[in-house]
Structure 1
Amino acid sequence: MAGFLKRLVPKRFRKTELIIPVVRMHGAIMAGGSQFRPALNLASYAPLLDKAFGMKEAPVVAITLNSPGGSPVQSRMIYNRIRQLAEEKNKKVLIFVEDVAASGGYMIALAGDEIIADPTSIVGSIGVVSGGFGFPEMLKKIGVERRVYTAGQNKAILDPFQPEKEGDIEYLKSLQLEIHNVFIDMVKLRRGSKLKDDPALFSGLFWTGMRGLDLGLIDGLGDMRDVLRRRYGDKVKLQLVSGARNFVGKKLPGVDLHAQSIAASAASGLAEVAEEKALWARYGF
């Protein structure tokens, strides 16, 4: 009723309050996710982005980002969706880094027209990493023989239960190099002449927000509320764009609550937690 009555009042007499949508992206970037631990991926966040960019009166969409990285594919998909919506809706995008925007997290940050971080945030890590474990000696000790049958000589490439092969490692590195080059091209496209000519820039190193500003990886230091109030006035109102709720009432970005059973979600969630903790640990979190 209040909204209906407000629309009856001529615009010149209404309170000049500017609402800016805020999308909060948090966590490791990976496909899938569960009811217990929604992942940062396009499927989860597309509805939130559509909703935020659909707010016609807002001149800008603010995104708070806190991610140590993860899937390069999902990172690029989120990046592309943000840029597509920004162009379609003619809106500026401001990315505000919280603790970390590294690796795939920084790739997403590149979608911002401006990237703003805290002086103590971690940014960068422009590189590609793959990791795993090898168990061939353990199998020998416990008396287990590994048997693999393939059609295709490279079908069992990088099998963790077999000794490493030089050819397998070279092939993996060639894939990493291709992905790394895509990442570098994205950084150069979005940051352009702002980037400093530093040999360490694309080495995979990461830096604080202060150093990231010097290198041209970000545009400024500060926090979202202060920055938006300085630019749009004290009457600016930040509206968090949120999704559905899970079975315990916790808000989720965009997860189908009936997609998996609770037991399956819990089991897969344990693996996801371990993977996410390993990603955060690289940056001291």
Structure 2
Amino acid sequence: MSESTYEIYAVKYAHHDRPARDNFLGGDPHETNMPLDYFVWAIVGQERSFVVDTGFDAEMGAKRGRQITQPPAAGLKALGLEPEAVEDVIVTHMHYDHAGNHALFPQARYHLQDREMAYCTGRCMCHQALTHAYEPADVSVMIHRLFEGRVRFHDGASQVAPGISVHLVGGHTNGLQVVRVRTRRGWVVLASDASHLYANIEQQRPFPVVYNVGDMLEGYQKVRELADSEAHVIPGHDPAVLSRFPAARPGLEDWVVRLDADPIGG
């Protein structure tokens, strides 16, 4: 592994059963269960490691009706990453399931799009249809980090480190960013909620929690262009990620999988 090539891991921390109709704008004709899994991601390099998103805790899971399967910290520690030592956290957007666990990374600087902070503290938050996925405490804590000198803002496309860049996509929120990472198998894109499920991007069917539908649809194309292939695009909530990629090591099946490895079955 070269200095600017990274390993990437998806760490599942929660699960939510829901009908397929809840995952597509305009619903879905199939009366089937189409669950969501919840992930944080670890980008591990020779010199530096990064965490992408921070998840939520058991209290928030109970409030939101989501089941914690393993706390995010447990999955990171299984990879040898101690949260107290993490220096950089990339927050794709400020929704409750991506920006919680406030005390988990006490030394980290947080990477966020300018537009996301403006969005979640601005006039759009006057509308319940847009606020329901945000938690005021998450936003407040990020503002405190800002005044502590622990937030780095990005405006559009920006390099975080050699081999790692963030890219403004919007759509799901006004300031959603995706993360592009150089790996041994090429450029992988952690799409986060630019595409919750493989079906959203593959079938061009938007997820119903959305700020701008046009930006969400354009985001699918942008994500494809950033990745080396569709197999290099990692959606934010699809349980199939756990079956498409190998476990980080024996004993971590269905929990922590390695995304820089070749997908199972080719």
| TM-score by shorter chain over 0.5 | no
User: Shorter-chain-normalised TM-score: which range?
Assistant: 0.3 to 0.5
The alignment's TM-score, normalised by the length of structure 2, stands at: 0.34
If each structure's helix is expressed as a fraction of its own residues, which one has the higher value?
Answer: 1
Q: Which has the higher strand share?
A: 2
- Give the greater-gyration-radius structure (CA): 1
